[in-house]
Amino acid sequence: MSGGVTPGVEPMLLPQGDGQLFAVRHRTATPPRARVLLCPPLLQEQIRSYRFFAQLANQWARRGIEVVRFDYSGTGDSSGSGVEFSIDRAIEDIRRVWEALIAAEDGVPRVLCGVRMGALLAALAIRNGLDADIAWWWQPVLSGATWVEETSTIDTRERQSRSRFPLKPAPAAITGELMGHVIDPRLPAALKQLQWPDVSRPSMWLLDSEHALEPRMDTDDVVRLPLAFDTWAGQVDFETIIPVRLADTASERLIARLPGVAA
């Protein structure tokens, strides 16, 4: 997966309301055989996986798959503070980037790829009318309530860590803050209401090595990720680099399933 011509990487700013969305397009050296919009995870998961998905986008671009990455409003290098991030706004951000950079109807397969909570937001965007041809769900969060509970548990664990905070007392939880990120105090309750919608699109599911299959998942459409991918979402520090080379087999499976694309 690492061979081929080095793709072009094009940062850009897209107008969105009163602000701007930061996006990066990983261009192919030849006319693209597919276009992918990568919807990132949230909070520490976005930071933890940023390098990995940037490298993966470069690899896909070398294979002729154009990739667009972006930051939601109120996150990363897009406009706004963390308190301005909301579910509705994030879904609108997905639609905005899609229409600006992916949606051209030129016969090239258009793929919406969501990572973790980004997958749930992307699925909701499709439910709201986004016209993706194909969906790739990377370790998707299927329940907002489960994600909030797991993230809050990590937050509590880190605040009570003796190695992180050797002096007593441990810092108390703060309303309007999660994993050290400033958020709208209403966001956790709103996220808890989210459930995976019915998405009538051809889908590929990239799952943890032992993730239980859901009724909606056809076994032919499931890619099991190597064990090394199972724990990154629960880590805060960069304990290990997420190994991009171990995603080669998953990438081959995804690319091989694209209409009209020979692996």
Does any domain span residue 230?
Answer: yes
Does any domain span residue 3?
Answer: no
CATH of the domain at 116: 3.40.50.1820
pLDDT of residue 174: 87
Does any domain span residue 132?
Answer: yes
Does any domain span residue 43?
Answer: yes
Does any domain span residue 94?
Answer: yes
At 225, the pLDDT band (50, 70, 90 cuts) reads very high
pLDDT, tens digit, for every residue of 132-189?
A: 999 999 999 999 999 999 999 999 999 888 888 887 788 888 899 999 999 999 999 9
pLDDT of residue 228 exceeding 80: yes
As for how many domains the chain has, the answer is 1
First to last CA, the chain: 11
pTM value surpassing 0.85: yes
Does any domain span residue 262?
Answer: no
C-alpha torsion angle, residues 101, 241, 87, 23 (rounded to 10): -20
Domain span at 245:
8-256
pLDDT, tens digit, for every residue of 94-131?
A: 999 999 999 887 889 999 999 999 999 999 999 999 99
Dihedral over Cα of 173, 178, 179, 180: its sign = negative
Does any domain span residue 68?
Answer: yes
Does any domain span residue 242?
Answer: yes
Q: Are strands 203-207 and 110-115 parallel, antiparallel or unpaired?
A: unpaired
By the 8 A CB rule, do 82 and 75 touch?
yes
Closest-CA residue to 7 (of 59, 50, 68)? 59
